[in-house]
Chains A and B, each alone.
Chain A
Amino acid sequence: MAKELIRLTDCRMAFDNEVVLNNINLYINDKEFLTLLGPSGCGKTTMLRIIGGFLKPVSGDVFFDGVRINDVPPHKRAVNTIFQKYALFTHLNVFDNIAFGLRLQRNNGNKLDKFEIHNRVMEMLEVVSLKGFEKRDVTLLSGGQQQRVAIARALVNKPKVLLLDEPLGALDMRLRKDMQNELKSIQQATGITFIYVTHDQEEALAMSDTVVVMEGGVIQQIGTPEDIYNEPKNAFVADFIGESNIVDGIMHSDGVVEIFGRKFKCLDKGFDPMEPVDVVIRPEDVDIVPPKSGKLKGTVTGITFRGVLYDIIVDFHGFKWLIQTTDLCPVGTKIGIKIDPDGIHIMKKGAFSGMYGDYSSYSAEYDEISDAEHEQDQEDEEENEFVSS
């Protein structure tokens, strides 16, 4: 059985009376790759900083290996962090950056031997494939190389837990994918517990043993990547992880749900008879058939080419669905659809019901996302502007 390493109980955090974490209860096992996933402002980085010791929770406790560590400062925790923009020491070269932590270590009051420091740094440079870079100026390295230095600088201290705060955020797509694989294999090779913060759901699904989905300072769901994707607990999780059509349904009996007046077979059980529910249908689980043999009939109103497949928007009785298909269905085509029982997932109604999963304003939704990024940039610029005045 996996051994529990970190536990947060009833953790609450607030800045200026604004609650950022509410009632967090979470345990993290030894050697686990756990991801805190959520949109910006959901409290995931705050949680990481509490585990790292940079913030103290307003109430609640943090345990490490069974010992309460609320008041232990960061430099006394067996935890190392990789920060968002790496936070490398620009006045030191690659070697000295990596050796920084080792030179501060004391073994019964004695400094580590120079020879040992040299060996461990060189070993680490090899792990992150930066052999021969030890004399380089860190400011002259590429983003990916700086990232590797940050990883080496943390790992060389042999921490029990490595905290990673959106470490791949500044890298381009290809480099990201490579680094994802590399991080995963480093984690498996070293057996260090990784706590990884990201807003990128693909990254979370690809790398993690356990995913913790957060929103509004509250944990929405904890589970394996498969659980989170296939069995989302509420509309927020269903929408945030991948694409989902979320429609109102009525549960007739175990295994039978009514959507738009038609009965569909499903695998979910344990709901009250005639209970209103949220029904999640993933865009890739919908089969397109000729209108006659379909359970529901609709009209294609939009199409986007995505490479492997097409995203098409289909209008069913005024409610628009996103369907992913390899078949070309031009705008205006009338189609029918079928859904296999395992393609339907039933959720209890909750606070997020009706807020997500409608593709009526599909293109607008994408605009909003890019707007949000734009605003972020603007904020950064304002900060810089202020700074230079």
Chain B
Amino acid sequence: MKNTAVSTVVKKPGILGRSYTAFILFFLYAPIFILITFSFNSTRSRSVWTGFTLDWYRSLFLDSSIMNAFYTTLIVAVISAIVATIAGTFAAVGFHSMRRRWRTPLMHINNIPMMNADIATGVSLSLLFISLGMVLRFRLGFGTLLLAHITFNIPYVVLSIMPKLRQLDNNLVDAACDLGCTWIKAFWKVIVPEIMPGIINGLIIAFTLSIDDFVISYFTAGGNVMTLPMQIFAMTRRRISPEINALSTILFLTVLALLIVINIRESKQEEKLHRGEDSRDR
């Protein structure tokens, strides 16, 4: 009885269902697959496969403007992820300890920038930086690029830490104080380690988003600084080169790897949480 009930609910997908899924996946990934394939093509042709080569990857690493963009991207990603994670952690702990009346609107304010169009964020930040720059005498450049990345990263860090804070026992800080901690010590010795998985997830997400960003960077980096996505954009405007394919492939694989890491981490944490709940019920 039970088996039939299950099999009617979770029906195995038929031919139609399977081909539909395959169709969707094909449309999603075919362009990327073509991109990757032609990054190894031995001629400049974008339609005919002429043989395997790593030349385009080699020339990437010899191209100083590309390598500069790569270093800029890496430095901006590392620094902005770290700063945003620190700021976001304190913000999340602050939000969490607030009363609901204040916490709810503040969380909404935190969430709005994430849904805001990148172009709006980019233009508004650039306007802000330009007008502030008039007064304080600075120009768009590496500094403003970094500030912009920190800004758009913080909400994501807050969002990845909040669930961890909610899972904490309400009395955890009290328990630490009870056993001899001052409030500050309780924060470092108990709260931070307890939410560490969320902090690290936030760090990786921030790093990924920073590597990935084009629009906001484009408006806030000024004329002299370029990130990798900006470099690719600039290259497509000058000449179509297989180097772009190679560069895009590297970028795609990096982001893919980071996303896989985030997903594995999250599902492991989930699993641990459930196992814990099960054993507590016993």
Contact = CB atoms under 8 A, between A and B. Distances in A.
A75 interface: yes
A157 B179 contact: yes
Interface stretch (B50-58, B60-68, B118-126, B274-282): B274-282
B114 interface: no
B144 to A, nearest CB: 35
Nearest to A142: B282
Contacts of A105: 180
A387 B182 contact: no
Given A74-B177, A143-B282, A157-B179, A83 B190 contact: no
Interface residues of B, number: 29
Contacts of B193: 89, 91-92
Nearest to B196: A91
B181 interface: yes
A75 B280 contact: no
A90 B194 contact: yes
Given A75-B178, A104-B180, A104-B181, A140 B169 contact: no
A197 to B, nearest CB: 13
Contacts of A334: none
Contacts of A142: 279-280, 282
A87 B196 contact: no
B280 A83 contact: no
Contact of A87 (B174, B272, B275): B174
Nearest to A89: B190
A253 to B, nearest CB: 55
Interface in B186-236: 190, 193-194, 196
B132 interface: no
Contacts of A198: none
Contacts of A221: none
Contacts of B174: 52, 54, 74, 81, 83, 87
Interface string B148-184: 0000000000000001001001111011111111100
Contacts of A73: 177, 182
A140 B274 CA distance: 10
Contact of A140 (B177, B185, B275): B275
Contacts of A140: 275-276, 279
A101 B180 contact: yes
A139 interface: yes
A84 interface: yes
B171 A85 contact: yes
A84 B171 CA distance: 8
B178 to A, nearest CB: 5
Contact of A104 (B100, B169, B179): B179
Contacts of A53: 177
29 contacts: A73-B177, A75-B178, A75-B179, A75-B180, A75-B181, A75-B182, A80-B179, A83-B169, A85-B169, A85-B170, A87-B171, A87-B172, A89-B193, A89-B194, A90-B276, A100-B179, A104-B185, A139-B272, A139-B275, A139-B279, A140-B276, A142-B280, A142-B282, A146-B280, A154-B178, A157-B179, A157-B180, A387-B166, A388-B163
Interface of B: 100, 163, 166, 169-172, 174-182, 185, 190, 193-194, 196, 272-273, 275-276, 279-282
What are the 9 closest A-B residue pairs judged by CB atoms, nearest first? A139-B276, A104-B180, A101-B179, A87-B175, A87-B171, A83-B171, A91-B193, A74-B177, A87-B169
